[in-house]
Amino acid sequence: MIKIVLFGPPGAGKGTQASILKEKYNLIHLSTGDIFRYNMKNDTPLGVQAKSFIEKGQLVPDSVTVDMLKDEVSKQKPASGYIFDGFPRTKVQAEALDAFLAKHDEQVNAMIALEVDDEVLVERLLERGKTSGRKDDANEEVIRKRIEVYHKETAVVKSFYQKQNKYFGVNGVGSIAEITERICQVIDKLEN
C-alpha cells in the first residue's frame, strides 16, 4: 500500500495531479481542505471545533486537524493507498501521521513536492481567480501572502521528510501530462 504526501504551494497543481494519480494508481485522495469543508458544513463535532477557531481568525489546532484526518481514513474503503493533499503542514502533524500509520504497520512512502517559481504561481492563481469564484485567487497581495506562508510552514515539513530520505522535488512547470510523467517516475521507483 503506497502513501504519498503531495505538496506544493497554492497554484502548483496539486488538485489536478491528485485526480490523475488517484485514477492511475487506485489511490484515495484525502484533501485536508475538502475534509474541513465537509466537517464544517455538516456540523460534525470536529467541524464545530474547527469552525470555532476559524471564526475567531485563529488557526485550527493540529490535534483537531489530525483527528479529522484519522476519522476520514477510518471511513475509506480498501484501496492501493492514499494521497495526502495539504497534510501534514507542520512537524507536529507529520509526526502524528507517522505515529498513526505505524499503529497499522504502515508508513509514508514519499513526500512529492511540486516546485514552481513564485511568479508563475501568482500568474496561475490570478488566472484561476477569473473563473474559480475564490476571492483568495483574485487578489495578488493575498496570493503572495499565501505563498509566503506556504514557504514558512513547509520548510520544517520538507526537512522532516528529507531526514527520512522521503522527499522528492518535482518540477511543477510544463503541461499537465509532463508534470504527471515526472511524478509517476518517482512513484514507479517507490513501488519497485
This prediction has a pTM of: 0.85
On whether 86 is known to bind a ligand per the annotation, the reply is yes
Secondary structure string (H, E, C) spanning the chain: CEEEEEECCCCCCHHHHHHHHHHHHCCEEEEHHHHHHHHHHCCCHHHHHHHHHHHCCCCCCHHHHHHHHHHHHHHCCCCCEEEEECCCCCHHHHHHHHHHHHCCCCCCCEEEEEECCHHHHHHHHHHHHHHHCCHHHCCHHHHHHHHHHHHHHHHHHHHHHHHCCCEEEEECCCCHHHHHHHHHHHHHHHHC
On whether 144 is known to bind a ligand per the annotation, the reply is no
Examine the pLDDT at 10 and tell me if it is beyond 70: yes
On whether 45 is known to bind a ligand per the annotation, the reply is no
- Return the minimum-mean-pLDDT range out of 25-29, 113-117, 133-137: 133-137
Examine the pLDDT at 32 and tell me if it is beyond 80: yes
- Return the minimum-mean-pLDDT range out of 9-18, 138-147, 181-190: 138-147
Q: Which residues of 40-71 are buried (b: 16+ CB within 10 A; e: fewer)?
A: beeeeebbebbbeeeeeeeebebebbbbbbee
CATH number of residue 52's parent domain = 3.40.50.300
d(CA 10, CA 16): 12
146 is catalytic: yes
Averaged pLDDT for residues 40-68? 86
On whether 182 is known to bind a ligand per the annotation, the reply is no
| pLDDT-based confidence at residue 104 (cuts at 50, 70, 90) | confident
Q: Which of 91, 128, 158, 166 is catalytic?
A: 128
On whether 87 is known to bind a ligand per the annotation, the reply is yes
Examine the pLDDT at 117 and tell me if it is beyond 90: yes
On whether 16 is known to bind a ligand per the annotation, the reply is yes
| pLDDT-based confidence at residue 192 (cuts at 50, 70, 90) | low
The cell numbers describing 152, all together, are 514558512
Tell me the pairing of strands 28-31 and 110-115.
Answer: unpaired
182 is catalytic: no
The cell numbers describing 155, all together, are 520548510
Share of the chain above pLDDT 70, in %: 98
d(CA 52, CA 47): 9
Examine the pLDDT at 79 and tell me if it is beyond 80: no
Query: Which residues span the domain enclosing 42?
Result: 2-191
* 108 vs 78, residue with greater confidence: 108
Count of domains in the chain?
Answer: 1
Q: Which of 3, 89, 124, 182 is catalytic?
A: 89
Q: Which of 3, 22, 124, 146 is catalytic?
A: 146
pLDDT tens-digit readout, 131-154: 887 777 888 888 898 888 888 877
d(CA 170, CA 180): 10
Residue positions counted in the chain:
192
89 is catalytic: yes
On whether 128 is known to bind a ligand per the annotation, the reply is yes
Question: Computed from CA positions of residues 172, 143, 62, 60, in that sequence, does the dihedral angle turn out positive or negative?
Answer: negative
- The pLDDT score that the predictor gives to residue 84 is 92
Q: Which of 14, 22, 124, 182 is catalytic?
A: 14
124 is catalytic: no
- Return the minimum-mean-pLDDT range out of 33-47, 53-67, 81-95, 111-125: 53-67
- The pLDDT score that the predictor gives to residue 180 is 97
Q: Which of 41, 70, 134, 189 is catalytic?
A: 134
Closest C-alpha to 107, from 116, 119, 98, 94: 98
